[in-house]
Structure 1
Amino acid sequence: MTQTALVTGGNRGIGYAIAAGLTKLNYRVVIGSRSASAGADAAESLGAEAVQLDVADPATIVGAIEQLGDVDVLVNNAGVLFDRPLLESPQEYRASLAVMLDGPYHLIRAVTPAMIHQGYGRIVNMSSDWGAFSQGLGGPGAYGVAKAGLNALTLALSRELPENVKINAMCPGWVKTRMGGAGANRSPEEGADTALWLATLPDDGPSGGFFRDRAPMAW
């Protein structure tokens, strides 16, 4: 039976590379994108599907999951990056948390009942070493705050979810994308590798961890 994988922000960058990798592994891949046309174009190029999904809008999350049916693999990849200081822009602070913390929370709530019922699920949260206290919470604006919250959510939910529904966070490194910039030292495919590993973990794979290059990282 073909498994369904939903990749948010899968129309470009690391998300597109993850979607491409899962397509090659014969998953039914669905690209979730705020722009319906961008998602449709990306999906067509991969032989995948697309759904309009604004992770900052819980109503579109509910509608997207109702449209898709059961999801076996969820990759919370969508992200935003603002460079103004935290205290100068409450709007950007709210947007950062809405996209990179609240959105993943609502998506996880939407997909996990089916995962628990069928006894299988894989959730991958695209985080960053900028969200790690061990690395000093770097990055501009609220980016590191949101990613630190996503890391905390990952660990907390690993204690609530059954062992066969695995949830992990990962850092892709510095990747050449619109967000990462041209000076980055990794390709989107290199950034996607750990996400693909976590999305396809065997039954004895880890849960509640934080990884880079398939190796554990300190929170």
Structure 2
Amino acid sequence: MPRTRPAVYVALTPHGFGHAARTLAILTILRQRWPEVRLILATTTPQWLLAANLPGEFTHRPVALDVGVVQTDGITQDLAQTRTALANLQAQRDTLITQEAALIRQEEVQLVFGDVPALAVAIAQAAGRPCWMASNFGWDFIYKDWGPEFEAVTAQMRMDYGQCNRLFRLPFHEEMTHFPRIEDVGLTAGRPRHSLREIRETWGLTVEPARTVLLAFGGLGLQGVPYARLAAYPDW
């Protein structure tokens, strides 16, 4: 029996929290305008982050469709581990494409949307579905200057991106010339659900807002912050 509710398969880069946060803001508005849509989120981004930023039901499919960059903390990149992870992903490529394309057909998904795993495009192609993406860079742009060991994966990504049906190119972007159809758009961001007063009361903040600093590294390396040094700034 055909499903009556339309579905979108959303592929999210699990590197940090930014890709998920900005795409979940889009999906929140999509759901407001199209309440009956079913959302399938394909990512290893933590469930709690998805639930905190996307009201309502969704299906979380914890599958890794890209690697991003392996980091030891918020600013240190591990190129050797990134290369190994990319090689492992490439070894699984055909299996992942077959597996995810079958799911897309089974769930009668109408659209694949990504930020910004190149493999999502190949999956959409195999499933016979269009693929749209939103980002300000492709991972080929990150890898292209990392030497000959990254040339093959960069070339594969550019081939995949070249089959994307539409790119919503966000501000502060690289050229992204391998995408055949580009539409420039504005920034995406979620709307605050709590007032400044509520946040300050919840966290017991008594210092004036102008002297309140948030330390955030996208979930990476918070243990490396030299917290002891913060004692030198008692009025912050």
TM-score of Structure 1 vs Structure 2, range by shorter chain: 0.3 to 0.5
TM-score relative to the length of structure 2: 0.43
> Considering only CA atoms, is the larger Rg found in Structure 1 or Structure 2?
2
